[in-house]
Structure formats: C-alpha cells, structure tokens
Structure 1
Amino acid sequence: MTNTTLETGLFPLTTPRLSMRPMVKADWPLFHRLHTDNAVIAQCFDPMPLDEIETRFEQRLTPWSPDAKHWLCLVIVETATKTPIGVTGFLLEQGAAEVGYILLPPYHGRGYGTESLQAVTDFAIHHGDARIINATVTAGNLSSARVLEKVGFQLSRIEPDAFSIGGVFYDDWIYTYTAA
C-alpha cells in the first residue's frame, strides 16, 4: 500500500449488473434523496438537517487512500440503464473495515445490495488490506441482515439500545466478516 490516493484505474468496481465509482459533486441529488426519503432512512437514522447532510456529502468527496481516516464512498450505478441507485463504501482503521450501503427503494429486493456489498468487501480486503470487516444493522432490519449473511457475514454481537430512531431505542446487530 502507498500513502497516495488510489489510482483511478481501480474504479469503477464492476459486477455483472453494477458499477461503483467514487462520488463526485454531481451526485448531490442522489445523496440528498438517500438521506431524506422516509422509505430509505426509516430503519437507518432520524431525518437530518440539510446542513448536516451537506457536510456529510462534502466529506465523502475527499479523495481516498488506504491510510485515509474517512469513508471511501462509491456511487452504485445500474449498468444497463446508467442510473445511480445508491451508495456503498467503507471506513478502514488498523486492518479492520466498517462497510455500509444504502439503496433507493425502487432497487430494493433485486440483489443489488448483495452484489455491491460483495464487491466492496472484496475491495476492502484486496486493496485496503482489511482482515476483519464489520457492518452494523438496526435491529429489525431483516433485509439488510440477509444481505450481509449472503455475503458471508455472521452476527457477532448485539449492542442493546445502541441507537435511537424517532425517539425509540433499538439494538445494533453487529455483523463480522473475517478474511481468509
């Protein structure tokens, strides 16, 4: 690994139906929608003020390298239609990664979450030297839990009352993938 930003030749990551590329300023409408659509955020987080969403967006535009202290944020694009459908990525820290993804509702249930998560997990292992990869799911989000399990993640612990959405506390389900 080097301390420089990854060469653009590594992107886009591709799967049979998707490509994933670093986020750019033109992706603001997608990012905004993913953070304000009630169907998207209901099992993830409370609505945020616009300035907080803007700050998160700006942070994700920062060029990434394996020694970065911020998320690698990739836009998921449906290859056949060239439509941006969500975001995925990871935060790397001392050989461990935290992965995440979020998709627009019309693209739920099509296997895109699994396909993109597998690609990002492989990338974190092969280009970020991650040995352990974690993902956090809000208790009750069975669809996300199934996606993680399909990729090979296993429920490793439950953190009781770890997160509040709409004033209700939920457990966090922590899933872990260990690289061979």
Structure 2
Amino acid sequence: MTKSRFEKGLFPLTTPRLSMRPMIKADWPLFHCLHTDNAVIAQCFDPMPLDEIETRFEQRLTPWSPDAKHWLCLVIVEAETQTPVGVTGFLLEQGVAEVGYLLLPPYHGRGYGTESLQAVTDFAIHHGGARTINATVTAGNLASAHVLEKVGFQLSRIDPDAFAIGGVCYDDWIYTYTAA
C-alpha cells in the first residue's frame, strides 16, 4: 500500500504510551481478531461473515486525506512492547467526525482507550478540520461511555431501539465533542 503525501508527515500519532499508525495488510490478524472476539464485539455488533470483515479491512487500507469519504483507521501500538493492541479512527463528513475504537481484551482497563481517543480527537480537529465529533455507544456499555466522558464528550441524545445485537434491541447513546 502506498501512503498518501498527506499521511507521510503526520503518522504515527504518539502519546506517552502509544503510537497510532495507518493500517497495513500485515494487520489482518489483529483486525480479524477484533471483529470476531466475543468479548470485543459483545456490546458493538453481531458476529459478521468473514467476507464482510475482509471487505471492511480492505476499505480501511485506502490512504486517507481530509477530503476522503472513508474511515481513517489507525492501529494502536503499545510503545514499550511494540504490540498492536487495537484500532481507532474516524469518518469525516462536512466538518463532523464519527470516532470509534476497539481494543483487545487484555488491554481493557489500562487507559489506552482514553489515551488513543484523545489523540484521535485532537487529530480530527487540527488536521481533519472537524468542528464536531460524535461517538455512538450501545446502551449499557458503561466503560466506553466513561472513556468518552474523560476525553470531554457529553451525552447529546439517546436513540431508542436503534441497534440490535443478538436479536435484542438497544438504545444508542450519542456522545458529542465540540471543538473550541
């Protein structure tokens, strides 16, 4: 995969404990695991067929720029061990970004979600031109809601019965961050 000129100077994003870089083909095992591990997907989405996971993966390999119509997908790497621990990123449309992240279960509860989300939020504002950033959390996913709140997101609305997981309908909690 060829990086765009835009990507070459901006990545990796770094924090004290993490680095985040664009996804490459060699990240397939991580992406597959994040989309098939029941502990990861239980509060996010139903298991999906392999071909759908592969399609999503291929879409996220496309080089990104602020005018792209696809997700910026970054692999979260633990700086000390150089171990990939999850993915994060955003989709930008007309100054509004939708952020998301998934972490492998052994890395839950270490603050990596908060640290990576803060870096991606700052990037979306300063390099993507986002003025508003939204994140959707399935009702009951208190850990993700807490991560968003620590970064400065606020619950802006609840969409009742917006999403089904395992045949059960859940509300979507929509969190919003507005750039100053």
- Would the TM-score normalized by the shorter structure come out above 0.5? yes
Contact preservation (8 Å) 1:71, 1:90: yes
Partner of 2:44: 44
Checking the alignment, whether the CA contact within 8 Å between 2:7 and 2:64 is kept in structure 1 is no
Cα offset for 1:6? 1.4
| Cα separation, 2, equivalents of 1:176 and 1:91 | 14
Letter paired with 1:140: G
Give matches, 1:109-148, under 5 Å.
109-148=109-148
Matching of residue 64 in structure 1 with residue 64 in structure 2 = yes
Deviation of the 1:178 alpha carbon: 0.2
For residues 72 and 17 of structure 1, what CA distance do their matches in structure 2 show? 21
- Give the SS at the match of 1:128: coil
Q: Which residue of 2 aligns with 1:99?
A: 99
Kindly state the Cα deviation for residue 7 of structure 1 after the two structures are TM-superposed.
Answer: 3.5
Offset of residue 53 of structure 1: 0.1
Secondary structure of the residue aligned to 2:48 is coil
- Equivalent in the alignment of 1:81: 81
Distance 1:52 1:5 in 2: 29
Cα–Cα, structure 1 residues 45 and 5, in superposed 2: closer, same or farther, change >3 Å? farther
Query: CA offset at residue 5 of structure 1?
Result: 5.0
Q: SS at 2:70's partner residue? A: coil
Structure 1 stretches of 4+ moved >2 Å: none
* Range moving further from structure 2, 164-173 or 5-14: 5-14
* Partner Cα separation in structure 2 for residue 175 and residue 66 of structure 1: 22
Indicate conservation of the 8 Å contact 2:17/2:79, yes or no: yes
**C-alpha separation in 1, matches of 2:167 and 2:5:** 40
* Gaps in structure 2 of 5+ consecutive residues: none
* 1:14-73 CA distance string (max 9 Å, x none): 000000000000000000000000000000000000000000000000000100000000
Equivalences for 1:145-156 in 2 at 5 Å?
145-156=145-156
Please give the secondary structure, in 2, of the residue aligned with 1:10: coil
Question: Partner of 1:22 in structure 2?
Answer: 22
SS at match of 2:121: helix
Q: Secondary structure at the match of 2:35?
A: helix
Q: Secondary structure at the match of 1:175?
A: strand
Q: Is the 8 A contact 2:96 2:132 kept in 1?
A: yes
Counterpart position of 1:168: 168
Task: Say which SS state the counterpart of residue 27 (structure 1) adopts.
Answer: helix
Structure 1: state its 5+ residue gaps: none
Q: 1:32 and 1:50 mapped to 2: Cα distance?
A: 8
Work out the percentage of aligned pairs sharing the same amino acid.
89
Aligned length: 177
Say if 2:96 and 2:131, in contact at 8 Å, map to a contact too.
Answer: yes
